[in-house]
């Protein structure tokens, strides 16, 4: 009885902490999901009378609005969730749902709305088995309000979380991902989704997240270590306050529109930021930095690589790159008030016109205008064409949000 009282208290606490995005136009706001109305609590494991011995049995017996609390233990099950429930583990460190070698497809299949999964270690280490796969409910055009928070994922050669159906208002937050030659998160055709506070670590060619054709989505406060970072495209995407270290590739977007990419730190990376045929992006207050004392390679390739039009690159710190900024097939972009230091070539352009360079710091104080060389084609010898920063800055800009050592 005492354990059930404790479990009830934990459920209330977890429900208060879990979050979903506010619907409508993206605002960056979040709100508490709270406990489901009029629900009951079903218990799995433990020693209480009437407790279920398997998680799926409790799911089958539940109705919309119920909470299923799973006591610590190891559960070898494949789960199918069709109902609007809270699935809560006693502790992510002691409550395991573990795929067997015989499992195929996925560990947990989700085909419902208003579902929470929290407090588990979820493992699929035999390859070819994803962990959570979300498809659309049969009676709705969207999968909505899916909240996957506070878990540990371990995946091998597959995907930890795959949301493949059109979705809205989904939250993936405060999870820990261990990826071996797989992907942490995949979202296709998602609206108003939040990916926040997660940690991604790879031992072998892993990718943190792949977002396809998303709209009004936030990727914030995530830590990406030793794996490829964020790939994808869509519109109204906010990528802010993330930390990438030793990332094979940091942020790579294709054909995206209206992007806010700010206050990210990309440390010891390879091709940190790449926007391919993107429009109306604001790239500001990011730190791209490979300190000499710890860099794996002498230089990353290109700090910010951009093609497209109507973009702004401003107030970024860019250090130790082969090319600091590279514009390719670009028009009407603004590159202003950035600090370039210790790059082999600070900036270059190819087949680009009507771009503005203004008040950047080019590695040393300059009195005369700074020429930026370019060409019609990448294989054309330099220089072919040139543009100017007519008013270069005489000293580096200060970045108060960054570590004080970033300008050393």
Which pLDDT tens digit goes with each residue over 132-164?
999 866 556 788 899 999 999 998 888 999 999
Report the percent of the chain where pLDDT is more than 70.
82
What pLDDT shows up at residue 33?
41
What pLDDT shows up at residue 8?
52
23 pLDDT more than 70: no
d(CA 174, CA 149): 6
37 pLDDT more than 60: no
What value does the mean pLDDT of the chain take?
A: 86
For the chain, the domains span 2-25+36-407
Residue of higher predicted confidence among 362 and 37: 362
Angle subtended at Cα 389 by Cα 385 and Cα 392, rounded to the nearest 5 degrees: 150
d(CA 171, CA 33): 11
Which pLDDT tens digit goes with each residue over 245-302?
988 789 999 999 999 999 999 988 778 999 999 999 999 999 998 765 344 555 568 9
For 47, other C-beta atoms within 10 Å of its C-beta total 8
Q: What mean pLDDT is predicted for residues 108-128?
A: 90
Answer for the pair 275, 256: CB distance below 8 angstroms, yes or no: yes
Which pLDDT tens digit goes with each residue over 167-226?
999 999 999 999 988 899 999 999 999 999 999 998 777 899 999 999 999 999 999 999
400 pLDDT more than 60: yes
381 phi and psi angles, rounded to 5 deg: -60, 145
What pLDDT shows up at residue 308?
96
d(CA 33, CA 22): 10
String of DSSP letters for 291-329: -TTT-SSS-EEEEEEEEEES-EEES-EEESEEEEEEEEE
Answer for the pair 309, 330: CB distance below 8 angstroms, yes or no: yes
Report the percent of the chain where pLDDT is more than 90.
67
Residue 380 CB partners (closer than 8 Å, separation 6+)? none
Which of these ranges, 93-97, 371-375, 377-381, has the smallest mean pLDDT?
Answer: 377-381
Out of 2.160.20.10, 3.40.309.10, 3.20.20.70, 2.60.40.1170, select the CATH number for domain 2-25+36-407: 2.160.20.10
16, containing H or E segment: helix 2-17
Which pLDDT tens digit goes with each residue over 311-341?
999 999 999 888 999 999 999 999 999 999 9
Answer for the pair 135, 111: CB distance below 8 angstroms, yes or no: yes
Q: What mean pLDDT is predicted for residues 25-40?
A: 46
What pLDDT shows up at residue 300?
60
């Amino acid at each position: 009885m005492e354990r059930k009282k404790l479990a009830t208290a934990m459920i209330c606490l977890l429900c208060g902490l879990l979050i979903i995005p506010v619907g409508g136009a993206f605002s960056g706001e979040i709100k508490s999901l709270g406990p489901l109305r009029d629900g009951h609590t079903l218990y799995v494991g433990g020693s209480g009378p009437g407790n279920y011995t398997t998680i799926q049995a409790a799911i089958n017996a539940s109705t919309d609005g119920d909470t299923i609390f799973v006591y610590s233990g190891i559960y070898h099950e494949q789960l199918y969730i069709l109902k609007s429930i809270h699935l809560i583990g006693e502790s992510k460190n002691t409550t395991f749902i573990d795929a067997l070698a015989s499992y195929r497809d996925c560990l947990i299949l989700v085909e419902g709305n208003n579902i929470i999964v929290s407090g588990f270690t979820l493992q699929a280490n035999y390859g070819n088995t994803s962990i959570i796969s979300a498809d659309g409910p049969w009676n709705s055009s969207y999968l909505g309000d899916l909240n996957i928070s506070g878990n540990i994922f371990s995946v091998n050669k597959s995907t930890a979380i795959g949301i493949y159906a059109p979705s809205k208002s989904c939250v993936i937050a405060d999870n820990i991902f261990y990826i071996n030659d797989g992907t942490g998160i995949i979202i296709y055709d998602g609206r108003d989704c939040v990916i926040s506070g997660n940690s991604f670590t790879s031992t072998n060619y892993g990718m943190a997240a792949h977002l396809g054709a998303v709209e009004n989505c936030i990727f914030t406060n995530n830590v990406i270590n030793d794996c490829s970072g964020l790939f994808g495209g869509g519109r109204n995407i906010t990528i802010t306050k993330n930390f990438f270290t030793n990332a094979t590739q940091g942020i790579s977007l294709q054909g995206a529109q209206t992007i806010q990419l700010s206050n990210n730190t990309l440390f010891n990376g390879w091709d940190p930021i790449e926007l391919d045929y993107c429009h109306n992006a604001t790239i500001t207050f990011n730190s791209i930095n490979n300190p000499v004392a710890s860099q794996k390679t002498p230089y990353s390739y290109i700090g910010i690589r951009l093609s497209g039009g109507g973009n702004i690159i401003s107030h970024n710190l860019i250090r130790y790159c082969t090319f600091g900024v590279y514009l390719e097939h670009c028009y009407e972009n603004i590159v202003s008030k950035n600090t370039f230091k210790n790059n082999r070539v600070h900036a270059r352009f190819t087949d680009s016109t009507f771009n503005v360079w203004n008040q950047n710091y080019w590695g040393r104080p300059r009195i005369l205008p700074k020429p930026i060389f370019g060409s019609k084609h990448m294989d054309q010898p330099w220089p072919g064409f040139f543009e100017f920063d007519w008013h270069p800055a005489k000293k580096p800009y200060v970045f108060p949000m960054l570590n004080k050592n970033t300008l050393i």
